[in-house]
Amino acid sequence: MKFTLYSVFTKALFMDAIIILYLFAHGLNVTQIMFLETFSALTITFFEVPGGAVADKFGIKYSLFFGAFFQAIAVIFFIIGQNYLFFVVGIVIFSIGATFISGADNAYLYDFLNENNMRDKFQQIDGSIMSWVYYAMAITSLTAGFLYTKSIYYPLYLTFIFLIFHHCWRSVWQI
């Protein structure tokens, strides 16, 4: 259950549903937004292996922590961003954070299940967790759309809070 909540708080992000609208509202054009997506893809490509090395060297829990931490810092860049460079830096930092989480989350779950003689239930439990994540994504997407009409910043504030909540969750309950 703790890992399910961790997954929801780090994967069902309010900003995902409105980020394109948010970037348009900040004066970016379609070409600039597509370049941001390109920077994200390239960053993930270049940092995927080093991100995995962090998990191997320092531990999976630290990798998950640093991933959410980097993503929270990136959201700050999106919130305070006043020009294209802020958004480039934000997307690069966010993508580096994603590489720390990528694979480490599944490895953590697998190791936990293995330690509790439940390794054969990995696919079933992982599928159940992802179902909860997708339900949460549906709710956060609907909520983000509504909140965006009140202030374009509200979905980003909630994304930041979710990622920070992850840090509190990890430090108190040791996912």
pLDDT confidence tier of residue 167, bands split at 50, 70 and 90: low
Give me the pLDDT at residue 168, please. Answer: 60
Proportion of the chain above pLDDT 90, given as a percent: 63
Proportion of the chain above pLDDT 70, given as a percent: 94
Alpha-carbon gap, residue 164 to 170, rounded angstroms: 10
CATH 1.20.1250.20 fits 2-173, yes or no: yes
Q: What is the mean pLDDT of the chain?
A: 90
Q: Is the pLDDT at 173 greater than 80, yes or no?
A: no
First to last CA, the chain: 10
**DSSP assignment of 135-172, as one string?**
HHHHHHHHHHHHHHHH-TTHHHHHHHHHHHHHHHHHHH
> Domain spans of the chain?
2-173
Give me the pLDDT at residue 37, please. Answer: 97
pLDDT per position as a tens digit, 11-66: 888 999 999 999 999 999 999 999 999 999 999 999 999 888 888 898 888 888 88
pLDDT per position as a tens digit, 136-153: 999 999 999 999 999 999
pLDDT confidence tier of residue 159, bands split at 50, 70 and 90: very high
108: its two tokens: 């953590």
Q: Which residues make Cβ contacts (< 8 Å) with residue 95, sequence separation at least 6? A: 39, 40, 41, 43, 44, 47
Q: Is the pLDDT at 171 greater than 60, yes or no?
A: no
Q: Is the pLDDT at 169 greater than 70, yes or no?
A: no
